[in-house]
Amino acid sequence: MGSKHYESELAYLREMGREFALVHPTTAGLLAEKGSDPDVERLLEGFAFLTARIRERIDDAVPAIIHGVAQLVFPHYLRPVPSMSIIQYTPPLRALRAVATVPRGTRVSAKPLQGTACEFRTTADIDLLPLELVEATLDETAAHRPVIRLRFNTTEAGRQVVCRREGVRLMLHGEPSLTCALYLWLRRYCKAAALKCGSAAPVGLGADAIVPVGFGEGEAMLPWPSFAPAGYRVLQEYFALPGKFLFVDIRNFDRLTLTEDSFELALTFERPPALPARLTTETFRLFCTPVINLFETSADPIKRDIRVYEQLLRASGLKPAHMEIYEVTSVIGVRQGQAQRKQYAPFVAYTHATEGRDAAYYVLRPTTSPIDDATDTYLSIATPRNVSTNSFEVEEVLSIDVVATNRNLPAELQLGEICTTPRGVASPAPFRNIAPVTVPARPALGNELHWRLLSHMGLSRSSLADVGVLRALLALYNFQRKVSATARHANELKIESLRKVSAEAITRMLQGAPVRGTRVNIEIDEARAGTVGEAFVFGCVLDELYAAHVALNSLTEQHLQLHPSKVEFGWPARSGRQHIV
């Protein structure tokens, strides 16, 4: 126990006791007198020590209460944000004669560091085709109508494969000033997309040819609770890995009939802003996907002891410095001499409230590690207060399945070092990471979590049509503020770039029926947001955030204006995604 509580209680007893005695001289008059008896002083100091201990116990219980509330209301806010990157598969052109699909969740790993190979998993399906990009040029011969020409090569066997596909997915790779500008070109200024093979006439791909990628629930990187607004997930992923949202699908390739092994994709634009750099084939990447440092494993078995309240979880087979628990997925109790296994549910599942007085559940307590800035997770088995512990005297071992990370180790990986597969996993083509591996970020725990949780709960009941509320909400999800000075500065500038936010009621026709909704008007300071393209990508993220906060039976429509250039962008009206029941 520290001396802070003790000194406070002793001073209160002496100072406030004297004032209390002056108000109540009959019942407490002796408190006003200055005593010289050492035994009396010893009693006062003893009382101060005991009350200080009580205060300390109460203060120690507050984090546990706050963690419990957070697990019920915002469980995602207690989870770390693992290291992320982007990998590219490079299949040899003539090695593929059919589509090879790499499904979402495929395990990949990195070169060993300190004896541990960090494991990642892909977050989107990838279709590997007998296709390669051999040329990328910008044709500016037509005034105000530049054309980006991408030339692809395939093989005779690959012609039918490419033509049967709906399209290809491109990742925009390079400096943010260029890639975000290109993303803006594709999303807002592209007026035509056409495919041309040899001397045949170009084949138009239609107005729906370009489709943004990365915002849907099926493309999520972070595991997410079903009841938490998806807009918060998009915020976390954007602040951690902005490049995750610089993917586009070019669709309707099945309209083309290939008669040669080479063809061209022409994208025509109308009066777009200038590009800050020249284009190369390195700018447009095929067969890419984001990856995240998450993997399923088992924790070291725990022998349950009713005399030990909680026990630290460790992933099996990994050094403690190379593992961190992200999520507990299963806790099963195996008792000696019994074939039946006990499945423990988490406290937040509420099943113990309906299973009767003998129900038991597990409780997780995340805490900052005393060794580093990572999170240690403690598990305890709890029972209703009126259940006797005699029923649990039979020896029991807990078998625990978890989702884990490699703690801080992945941050030491360099470009190209995520290039192998775990034992038992085959890859249809070579791959490597083409983006730096991000530094893992942790949530605020302890005293900082108190005000962040209260702030989050307050903001959840406030209108996001207030610029102060919106800034505060974005700041709550800037987990990178503590781990990366570069990312913190970039994210804080984007948050500070928000100048004004207002809302107005609107009515729009959706699927033939009038629907009431809200138009959100946002003004952004160009100087703080970076380039026009970066401000547009930020606006796309905000559009997802607002849609996630609007009820299913309503709609939202976002309008963005840059200051001082007055450049404006609008997003189409869309139905809300917040479930009412």
218-231 residue pLDDT tens: 899 999 887 778 88
**Nearest Cα to Cα of residue 543 among 516, 510, 519:** 519
Q: Are 327 and 403 in contact (CB under 8 A)?
A: yes
Phi-psi region for residue 416, left (φ > 0), alpha (ψ -120 to 50) or beta?
A: left
What is the maximal distance between C-alpha atoms in the chain?
A: 110
Q: Which two tokens mark 219?
A: 């493309």
Q: What is the CA radius of gyration of the chain?
A: 30
| CA 490/CA 534 separation, integer angstroms | 11
What is residue 116's DSSP assignment? B
pLDDT tens track, the chain, 581 positions: 556 677 887 777 777 777 777 777 777 666 666 666 677 777 878 878 888 777 766 665 566 677 777 777 788 888 899 999 999 999 998 888 889 999 999 999 999 999 999 999 999 999 999 999 999 999 988 878 999 999 999 998 889 888 888 889 999 999 999 999 999 999 999 999 999 998 889 999 998 899 999 998 889 999 988 777 888 999 999 999 999 999 999 999 989 888 899 999 999 999 998 898 899 999 999 999 999 999 999 999 998 877 778 899 999 999 999 999 999 999 999 887 777 888 888 887 766 666 655 678 888 888 888 778 889 999 988 876 555 555 555 688 999 999 999 999 999 999 999 999 999 999 999 999 999 999 999 988 877 777 788 888 887 777 888 999 999 999 999 988 888 888 888 899 999 999 999 999 999 887 788 889 999 999 999 999 989 999 999 999 999 999 988 877 889 999 999 999 999 999 999 887 764 44
Residue type, 190: C
For position 228, what pLDDT does the model report? Answer: 79
- Check residue 67 and report its DSSP letter: H
**Can you tell me the distance from the alpha carbon of 44 to that of 54, in angstroms, rounded to the nearest whole number?**
15
Place of tokens 């060993």: 112
Nearest of 568, 571, 491 to residue 242 by alpha carbon: 491
For 81, other C-beta atoms within 10 Å of its C-beta total 26
Contacts of 366 (CB under 8 A, 6+ apart): 67, 78, 375, 376, 377, 378, 443, 445
According to the model, what pLDDT value does residue 393 have?
58
CA distance 247 to 238: 13
Residues 6+ apart with CB under 8 A from 168: 129, 131, 249, 250, 253, 286
Question: Residue 31's pLDDT is what?
Answer: 66
Quick check: 205 and 255 in contact, CB under 8 A?
yes
Q: Is 261 helix (H, G, I), strand (E, B) or coil?
A: coil
The gap between the terminal CA atoms of the chain, to the nearest Å, is: 47
Beta-carbon contacts of residue 370 (< 8 Å; ≥ 6 apart): none
